């Protein structure tokens, strides 16, 4: 239990792994590249699912479930799509003790299998928009994997919609980008930049890809969600047609959009510290743990009983305050009565697994009519009169959710730099702590590729105007110096 | 939309398929044996998950997620297990554009992969009990498939627990059997018989299997859930050991238990009728649909407005009554204002997809201060004073939930027969409408096999005493006439 977490400053990558393993969020499995999500980690995924699922449903999308298997021929119907995914596919060749006639690919994403159903279900404009989402596992064979961030199998939601026009599809793509942005900031307390991917970074088969990008504490970028405008690319390949009001058969315009268990990795790398997990209250199942401090000398049964009774009263008052509050969740409170473990051991354990608030309560606190409250992110003890504990807990949880976002935003803003030359770009990328580098780019993929080859940084996104247009730059391209088509981009090294 | 549902009396199997397809609960996919669960069906699965997940968590189990892939060598570690599952496995031989060194089986169930993790996580008696559950997809290659009832891929929950003693494991197995029984009856309104499987019918690798069995409207049995006592079989194969209080290394005693999307099939075949789906209120997302009846003649804008306003008021009153009620769910109400569709078309549609209550409301009802309420299962119109509509709806939903269970129980009891000879057993099995046949059996698998070969009926279970023991029979075995070890069993043809 008392393994040490490598400090972030010493080795960020080892720190991340230490937090994930020691807080029992996930573990390596015997299957190469696949992880096990342990109860402490899965509970966070359940909170993510619950909240995001409501946001998705509010936009009129319903959940469904499509097969894990995709016939190999389906994947090949859209040329760019198969080119992008074929190298990463896991393939079933043998089933039911027989060689299969047609190989089955484990879904790396479901545009193809879902289009085969859309083509069957959609007849007329009256069937549009058709909008479904599924929560599912997908498999992409990866060479280098990291818990949550890049695993061969991962969990995600993938939404798929069909529309009568390209304009409607574009509206939906933008709407989901907003849903993801709000969700990341309000729930994960992770500030993100919403932008557009460059041609070379967009989804295989998409017309246009939007994304949200977060900055981790090591200054690297993490793509936290994507929203794709597929245009009629898949509809054309699968014959997903509808009879329009004008009596003509037309291809539907589609979108797809998703976030995955990768969000857990992003959340951890945004907030956690050298003592372990720091969890935004909206992702916690248990928000408060009450640790009674028992009298040191034996035989003081009465004092012991008084401490337990006071702790139970505190628990009740927090639950009452929770039900009267306008918090978007019920406060989960636990009272740790285990006398076989020392209070110090418990403090360490609850810090490690990221319980947002800790309340201590001993005989001397009782005398003073107070409890000791410690916020996980601040680590500073605060004395709270027992009569105020319910209200103070509610306020502390609200403040912690807000502060985590603000702190992360301030961190990101302080590590975002504008550069006007290639040498400056290289210098900023190589300085300790990394960061996001804003620069002007001519939209030529050769310049993009040159930066990637020489610095290992990529264009994370083209930030957008309020009209969802790339931001035109009067400056010339920082790589080639060309003028005219230049737009603003963010370069960064990334996960 | 106006396709006809084959009547149950004409062809039960075709009726079932018609209901599933026409109510858009599921559809066939292009992948052999795999289905697509459509939003109307998936919404029911979501209600099942929500309710059952809470019941499972209340028993102290936490959710986790384990890999989809199982190394082939793992499956082979437990001899009976591999023998049972190998013929049904789908196998990945090729991934990331390379032949795999070790083939990966798509999980047909996860005892083996989970034991590899248990063996790592469990050290001492202090780590016990260890109890996890996962909601996941599994794959079992099937020759003959039917939507929901038997599909190559299906969704389920599988719980896995480790205990210090066999007694504790047995208690857990029985506890989960009770959870499933209560869930089936309280939520699905599906009466079940809880019993023990015979040796030949138990789970491959189990020491003992308990199950719940429901009776469908064609008199066939459906296994709706299983709870396995695995003893130390998997722990032995995987070295899942713990250091006990007495300082000795011991193998843990394990259980596993699951229910699947098959429950949807069972629920449909228990309650639905020739007009479509009949859905117990606790599984509905929308419980009430309000259909305003507009004045027939054109131009009566005022009457039209009055009907809509009254309908909105009714909707509000139902929502208020819902929040004041002790129902275990919030009543979902929809107001169908679509004027492009006839009321008759709407009635047919809402009956087909199983909305529990329909409220009609036209200008003449308005005059009389009433609405017309129709319960989906009864199909009889009832006039309800508008001032009482909230309370009447709450009561109707409660009554419907209760009545569906009672009706199904009465149906099952009426089709359960006791026989005392083999000829009587054969006769009862062959009479129209089938049913459950109670008989005395000597516990010899040869007698069991003879019945299976000659009648296609199997022993569904050994019903249990309150002590979870098979019920001893003084009658001799109906097959061979042997006396002494005879116990009561239920024979039936099954899904």
Q: Give the distance from residue B108's alpha carbon to the nearest chain A alpha carbon, in angstroms.
A: 12
Predicted TM-score (pTM) of this structure: 0.97
Q: Please, which pLDDT band fits residue B295 given cuts at 50, 70 and 90?
A: confident
- Residue B294 pLDDT: 86
Which residues make beta-bridge pairs with B226? B211, B258
- Residue A368 pLDDT: 96
User: Any alpha helices (H) in B103-228, and if so which ranges?
Assistant: 111-121, 166-186
Is the pLDDT reported for residue A1 higher than 70?
A: no
Q: Give the distance from residue B367's alpha carbon to the nearest chain A alpha carbon, in angstroms.
A: 35
Q: Please, which pLDDT band fits residue B299 given cuts at 50, 70 and 90?
A: low
Is the pLDDT reported for residue A483 higher than 90?
A: no
Q: Give the distance from residue B459's alpha carbon to the nearest chain A alpha carbon, in angstroms.
A: 26
Q: Quick check: A39 and B67 CB within 8 A?
A: no
Q: Quick check: B94 and A96 CB within 8 A?
A: no
- CB contacts of A89 in chain B (<8 Å) are 95-97
Q: A50: Cβ–Cβ under 8 A, 6 or more apart, which residues?
A: none
CATH for A416-492 is: 3.30.110.30
Is the pLDDT reported for residue A482 higher than 80?
A: yes
DSSP letters for B10-50: T-HHHHHHHHHHHTTSEEE-SSTT-EEE-HHHHHHHHHHHH
Q: What is the mean pLDDT of residues B270-292?
A: 98
The SS3 assignment for B94 reads strand
Tens digit of pLDDT for each residue in A388-408? 999 999 999 999 999 999 999
**ipTM, 2 decimals?**
0.97
Q: Which chain A residue has its CA at the smallest distance from B34's CA?
A: A67
Q: Quick check: A30 and B74 CB within 8 A?
A: yes
User: Any alpha helices (H) in A369-444, and if so which ranges?
Assistant: 389-414, 422-430
- Residue A299 pLDDT: 65
Question: Do B153 and B138 touch, CB atoms closer than 8 A?
Answer: yes
Neighbouring CB atoms inside 10 A of B387's CB total: 11
CATH for A288-396 is: 3.40.50.800
- Residue A294 pLDDT: 87
Is the pLDDT reported for residue B33 higher than 80?
A: yes
Tens digit of pLDDT for each residue in A206-240? 999 999 999 999 999 999 999 999 999 999 999 99
Among candidate residues B218, B164, B214, the one with its CA nearest the CA of residue B192: B214
Q: Please, which pLDDT band fits residue A300 given cuts at 50, 70 and 90?
A: confident
Q: What is the mean pLDDT of residues B305-322?
A: 96
The token pair that represents B173 in the structure block: 């197995």
User: How far is B470 from B462, CA to CA, in rounded Å?
Assistant: 6
Closest CB from B39, B91, B103 relative to A132: B39
The token pair that represents A308 in the structure block: 């337990």
Q: What is the mean pLDDT of residues A2-24?
A: 95
Upper half-sphere CA count for residue A17 (Cβ side, 13 Å): 9
Query: CA-CA distances (angstroms) from residue B207 to B256, B276, B449?
Result: 11, 41, 20
Is the pLDDT reported for residue A8 higher than 90?
A: yes
Query: How large a percentage of chain B has pLDDT more than 90?
Result: 95
DSSP letters for A217-260: TTS-EEEEEEEEEEETHHHHHHT-EEE-TTS-EEEPEEEEEEEE
Q: Give the distance from residue B2's alpha carbon to the nearest chain A alpha carbon, in angstroms.
A: 16
Domain ranges of chain B: 12-69+110-271, 284-398, 416-492
Question: A12-271 adopts what CATH topology?
Answer: BirA Bifunctional Protein; domain 2 (3.30.930)
Q: Quick check: A64 and B38 CB within 8 A?
A: yes
Q: A313: Cβ–Cβ under 8 A, 6 or more apart, which residues?
A: A386
Q: Please, which pLDDT band fits residue B3 given cuts at 50, 70 and 90?
A: confident
Q: Which of A39, A65, A74 to mutate to test the interface with B (most CBs of B within 10 A)?
A: A65
Parallel, antiparallel or unpaired: strands B416-418 and B436-441: parallel
Query: CA-CA distances (angstroms) from residue B275 to A329, B347, B459?
Result: 41, 11, 33
Question: Do A232 and A114 touch, CB atoms closer than 8 A?
Answer: no
The token pair that represents B231 in the structure block: 């003893």
- CB contacts of B137 in chain A (<8 Å) are 68, 136-137
Q: Phi first, then psi: give them for residue A131, nearest 5 degrees.
A: -135, 115
Is the pLDDT reported for residue A2 higher than 70?
A: no
- CB contacts of A62 in chain B (<8 Å) are 39, 42-43
- CB contacts of A88 in chain B (<8 Å) are 96
Question: Do A335 and A290 touch, CB atoms closer than 8 A?
Answer: yes
Q: Quick check: B95 and A89 CB within 8 A?
A: yes
Tens digit of pLDDT for each residue in A405-439? 999 999 999 999 999 999 999 999 999 999 999 99
DSSP letters for B277-344: ----GGG-S--EEEEEPPPSSTT-HHHHHHHHHHHHHHHHHHHHHHHHS--SSPPPEEE---TTS-HH
Closest CB from A45, A65, A106 relative to B36: A65
| B12-69+110-271 CATH choice from 3.40.190.10, 3.30.420.140, 3.30.930.10, 3.30.230.10 | 3.30.930.10
Among candidate residues B216, B229, B71, B422, the one with its CA nearest the CA of residue A30: B71
Is the pLDDT reported for residue B298 higher than 70?
A: no
Cα radius of gyration (chain B): 26
Q: Please, which pLDDT band fits residue A3 given cuts at 50, 70 and 90?
A: confident
Among candidate residues B92, B101, B66, B25, the one with its CA nearest the CA of residue A69: B92
Torsion angle (degrees, nearest 10) of CA A324, A330, A334, A335: 10
Q: What is residue B146's DSSP assignment?
A: B
Question: Do B491 and B459 touch, CB atoms closer than 8 A?
Answer: yes
**Strands of A208-215's sheet in order across:** A62-63, A130-139, A153-163, A253-260, A221-231, A208-215, A193-196, A458-463, A487-492, A436-441, A416-418
Among candidate residues B295, B294, B211, the one with its CA nearest the CA of residue B258: B211
Q: What is the mean pLDDT of residues A95-121?
A: 97
Q: Please, which pLDDT band fits residue A298 given cuts at 50, 70 and 90?
A: low
- CB contacts of B136 in chain A (<8 Å) are 137
Q: What is the mean pLDDT of residues B47-64?
A: 98
Q: Which chain B residue has its CA at the smallest distance from A61's CA?
A: B39
Q: Give the distance from residue A495's alpha carbon to the nearest chain B alpha carbon, in angstroms.
A: 20
User: How far is A37 from A24, CA to CA, in rounded Å?
Assistant: 9
CATH for B284-398 is: 3.40.50.800
Q: Give the distance from residue B90's alpha carbon to the nearest chain A alpha carbon, in angstroms.
A: 4
Q: Give the distance from residue A433's alpha carbon to the nearest chain B alpha carbon, in angstroms.
A: 34
- Residue B2 pLDDT: 57
- Residue ranges of E strands in B61-141: 62-63, 69-71, 90-95, 98-106, 130-139
Q: What is the mean pLDDT of residues B458-484?
A: 95
- Residue A302 pLDDT: 85
User: How far is B215 from B412, CA to CA, in rounded Å?
Assistant: 6
User: How far is B488 from A468, CA to CA, in rounded Å?
Assistant: 72
- Residue B296 pLDDT: 73
Is the pLDDT reported for residue B120 higher than 80?
A: yes
Closest CB from A42, A93, A141 relative to B93: A93
Is the pLDDT reported for residue B1 higher than 60?
A: no
Q: Please, which pLDDT band fits residue A484 given cuts at 50, 70 and 90?
A: confident
Q: Which chain B residue has its CA at the smallest distance from A34's CA?
A: B67
- CB contacts of B71 in chain A (<8 Å) are 30-31
Is the pLDDT reported for residue B143 higher than 90?
A: no
User: How far is A488 from A464, CA to CA, in rounded Å?
Assistant: 9
CB pairs under 8 A between A and B: 154
Tens digit of pLDDT for each residue in B92-108? 999 999 999 999 999 99
- CB contacts of A136 in chain B (<8 Å) are 137
Q: What is residue A298's DSSP assignment?
A: T
What average pLDDT does the structure give for chain A?
A: 96
Residues B348-369 as b/e (b if ≥16 CB within 10 A, e otherwise) read: ebbbbbbbbbbbbbbbebbeee
Q: B325: Cβ–Cβ under 8 A, 6 or more apart, which residues?
A: B331, B394
- CB contacts of B117 in chain A (<8 Å) are 27, 29, 36
Question: Do B429 and B464 touch, CB atoms closer than 8 A?
Answer: no
Closest CB from A39, A64, A74 relative to B37: A64
């Amino acid at each position: 239990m008392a393994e040490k977490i490598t400090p972030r400053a010493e080795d960020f990558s080892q720190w991340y792994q230490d937090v994930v393993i020691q807080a029992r969020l996930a573990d390596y499995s015997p299957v190469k590249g696949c992880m096990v999500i342990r109860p402490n980690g899965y509970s966070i995924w359940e909170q993510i699912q619950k909240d995001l699922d409501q946001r998705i449903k509010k936009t009129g999308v319903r959940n469904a479930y499509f097969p894990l298997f995709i016939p190999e021929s389906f994947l090949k119907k859209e040329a760019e799509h198969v080119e992008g995914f074929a190298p990463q596919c896991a393939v079933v060749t043998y089933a039911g003790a027989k060689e299969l006639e047609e190989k089955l690919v484990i879904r790396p994403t479901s545009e193809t299998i879902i289009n085969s159903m859309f083509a069957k279900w959609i007849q007329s404009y009256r069937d549009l928009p058709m909008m479904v989402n599924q929560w599912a596992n997908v498999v992409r064979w990866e060479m280098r994997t990291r818990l949550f961030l890049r695993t061969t199998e991962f969990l995600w939601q993938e939404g798929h919609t069909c529309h009568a026009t390209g304009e409607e599809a574009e509206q939906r793509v933008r709407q989901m980008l907003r849903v993801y942005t709000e969700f990341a900031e309000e729930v994960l307390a992770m500030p993100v930049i919403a932008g557009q991917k460059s041609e070379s970074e967009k989804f295989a088969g998409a017309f246009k890809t939007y994304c949200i990008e977060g900055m981790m504490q090591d200054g690297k970028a993490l793509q936290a969600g994507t929203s794709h405008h597929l245009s009629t690319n898949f509809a054309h390949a699968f014959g997903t047609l509808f009879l329009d009001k004008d009596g003509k058969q037309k291809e539907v315009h589609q979108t797809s959009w998703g976030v995955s268990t990768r969000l857990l990795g992003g959340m951890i790398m945004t907030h956690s510290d050298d003592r372990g997990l720091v969890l935004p209250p909206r992702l916690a199942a248990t928000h408060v743990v009450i640790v009674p401090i028992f009298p040191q000398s034996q035989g003081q049964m009465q004092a012991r009983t008084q401490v337990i009774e006071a702790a139970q009263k505190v628990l009740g008052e927090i639950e009452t305050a929770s039900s009267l509050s306008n918090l978007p969740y019920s406060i989960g409170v636990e009272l740790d009565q285990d006398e076989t473990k020392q209070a110090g051991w418990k403090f360490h354990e609850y810090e490690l697994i990221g319980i947002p608030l800790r309340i201590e309560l001993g005989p001397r606190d009782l005398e003073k009519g107070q409890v000791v409250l410690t916020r996980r992110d601040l680590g500073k003890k605060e004395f709270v009169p027992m009569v105020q504990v319910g209200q103070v807990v509610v306020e502390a949880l609200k403040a912690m959710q807000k502060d985590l976002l603000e702190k992360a935003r301030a961190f990101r803003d302080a590590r975002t730099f504008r550069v006007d030359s290639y040498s400056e770009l290289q210098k900023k990328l190589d300085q300790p702590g990394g960061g996001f580098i804003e620069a002007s780019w001519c939209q030529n993929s050769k310049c993009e590729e040159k930066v990637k080859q020489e610095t290992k940084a990529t264009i994370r996104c083209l930030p957008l105007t309020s009209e969802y247009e790339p931001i035109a730059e009067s400056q010339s391209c920082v790589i080639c110096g060309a003028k005219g088509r230049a737009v603003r981009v963010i370069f960064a090294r990334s996960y």
